[in-house]
Amino acid sequence: MDTNQAVPVEVALLELMKKTGYSMMQENGQRKYGPPPGWDGPPPPRGSEVFVGKIPRDMYEDELVPVFEKAGYIYTFRLMMEFSGENRGYAFRERGEMAQKAIHMLDNYEIRPGKYIGVCVSLDNCRLFVGSLPKDKNKEEIMEEMKKVTEGVVDVIVYPSATDKNRNRGFAFVEYESHKAAAMARRKLIPESLQLWGLNIQVDWAEPEKDVDEETMQRVRVLYVRNLMLSTSEETLQEAFSCVRPGSVERVKKLTDYAFVHYRSRQDALDALRLMNGTLIDGALVTVSLAKPAAGRDGGGATWRHGGGGGNRGYNENNKLKCTLEAHKANITLHTRIHYINIKRKEEIEIPETRVRRVMRHHTNSRTVIQITRKCTTLALQSWSSISK
């Protein structure tokens, strides 16, 4: 941006601050407008922020703020900036009201002639995936170690091995008090020189779980059961989860060490959730929660998804296991071996869970790259699909 253009923009920003009383500060590659003057309450809850994309690079807060004020007051507006002074084409707007109003009003909004912005919910991710951990470490040990090397740790999620419940699966999800704390921790942990228990760990953002609206969740009558023994049968689960009353369970679908239990009524599902969560089945302490319907399904549909913050593994009645890739890159955690078919060469390739680091989907050429850990090799498969076993 040249000097002649910088002066009027600077003046316009000063006029905006004078008019609204908001402050503006730039740090860490972003310029933050807000909070409102005299604000003495808590910040808006998680889920109140929207992501704004495709912003013209020479457009700034003096033009953007009035547009977004149409959808309600602004708590903060964060514009990502280049060193040159231009914006990076995207921003985050935090608001007190529901984010859906801004999305409805301003997604695909023509902000300049022929220039349309995109607005969607910002996933306020506070969770990191930490892989290549020693499998003999428990939750308390991992949390203690993570607190030594990072700040703001509030929880650690560790899943037992499918074959040995006394060992973990070699990874954990670490929850931080804020997105900023998680981002700072990720920045510190990314260098491969940092080790935990003498091992080079792998760190990345956990794949956020997609929110399901409250109205849909109120209709759910399917339970998601995890941490099962591999030997536990569907018949055993049918009997155990019929504790509410005989005939309450419609059907059970078990996949490796987790299962979906379908009830005939929502009340039966809620009663079973209360009774069965934290109980022992075949010697394994199980966790039970309401299953989240996949996109486009209601509470009684056939497609369900689950996750612990690090995966896009989905369940469908017609495919026992499938991997859904969203956007250009999706980090996944596989809890079982997964088979892929190379349609072009008619080959079937089996990839163990411990070797998968991430999956990248290139929409432009329909090419999927599966990055494998340890030997750092890469498999490039053309036109792949998962298969049922």
DSSP assignments along 292-348, one per residue: EEPTT--TTSSEEE--SSS--EEEETTEEEEE---SSEE----SS-EEEEETTTTEE
Number of domains in the chain: 4
Residue 111 sits in the same domain as residue 7:
yes
With 0-12 CB in 10 A as exposed, 13-18 as middle and 19+ as buried, what is 286? buried
**What CATH code is carried by the domain that includes residue 157?**
3.30.70.330
Q: Answer with the one of 170, 205, 240 that is the final residue of a domain.
A: 205
Phi, psi of 313 (to 5 degrees): -80, 130
**Cα–Cα distances in Å, from 319 out to 308, 322, 324?**
21, 7, 12
The percentage of the chain sitting over the pLDDT mark of 90, rounded to a whole number, equals 47
Q: Where are the alpha helices (DSSP H) in the chain?
A: 3-20, 61-68, 99-106, 139-149, 179-189, 214-217, 234-240, 266-276
Residue 245 sits in the same domain as residue 343:
no
Residues 294-349: pLDDT tens digits? 654 455 544 555 554 443 333 333 332 233 333 223 333 333 333 343 333 334 44
Residue 1 above 80 pLDDT? no
Residue 369 above 50 pLDDT? no
Please indicate whether residue 375 or residue 70 has the higher confidence score (pLDDT): 70
CB 138 within 8 A of CB 108: no
Domain interval for residue 317: 313-386
Task: Please tell me the pTM assigned to this model.
Answer: 0.59
| C-alpha–C-alpha distance, residues 188 and 279, integer Å | 39
pLDDT band at residue 243 under the 50/70/90 scheme: very high
pLDDT band at residue 192 under the 50/70/90 scheme: low
Average pLDDT over residues 162-182: 91
Residue 297 sits in the same domain as residue 225:
yes
Q: What per-residue confidence (pLDDT) applies to 211?
A: 67
Residue 347 sits in the same domain as residue 379:
yes
pLDDT band at residue 223 under the 50/70/90 scheme: very high
Q: Answer with the one of 86, 121, 156 that is the final residue of a domain.
A: 121
Q: What per-residue confidence (pLDDT) applies to 200?
A: 87
Q: Which two tokens stand for residue 174?
A: 């670490």
Q: Answer with the one of 304, 327, 361 that is the final residue of a domain.
A: 304
CB 351 within 8 A of CB 380: no
**Cα–Cα distances in Å, from 377 out to 316, 358, 371?**
31, 12, 7
* 67-72 long-range contacts, CB within 8 A, separation 24+: 67/106, 67/109, 67/111, 68/93, 68/102, 68/106, 70/105, 70/106, 71/95, 71/97, 71/101, 71/102, 71/105, 71/106, 72/96, 72/97, 72/101, 72/102
| C-alpha–C-alpha distance, residues 330 and 43, integer Å | 30
Residue 351 sits in the same domain as residue 254:
no
| C-alpha–C-alpha distance, residues 295 and 218, integer Å | 15
| C-alpha–C-alpha distance, residues 275 and 248, integer Å | 14
| C-alpha–C-alpha distance, residues 223 and 307, integer Å | 13
Helix (H, G, I), strand (E, B) or coil at 240: helix
Residue 7 sits in the same domain as residue 74:
yes
Residue 117 sits in the same domain as residue 24:
yes
CB 103 within 8 A of CB 50: yes
Residue 240 sits in the same domain as residue 330:
no
Q: What per-residue confidence (pLDDT) applies to 210?
A: 67
Average pLDDT over residues 248-255: 95
**Is the peptide bond between 8 and the residue preceding it cis, with omega within 30 degrees of 0?**
no
Q: What per-residue confidence (pLDDT) applies to 368?
A: 44
Residue 265 sits in the same domain as residue 327:
no
| C-alpha–C-alpha distance, residues 168 and 162, integer Å | 9
Residue 218 sits in the same domain as residue 139:
no
Residue 230 sits in the same domain as residue 283:
yes
Q: What per-residue confidence (pLDDT) applies to 90?
A: 74
Q: What is the largest CA-CA distance in the chain?
A: 79
Residue 76 sits in the same domain as residue 38:
yes
CB 228 within 8 A of CB 163: no
CB 199 within 8 A of CB 145: no
Torsion-angle region of 103 (φ positive above 0: left; ψ -120 to 50: alpha; else: beta): alpha
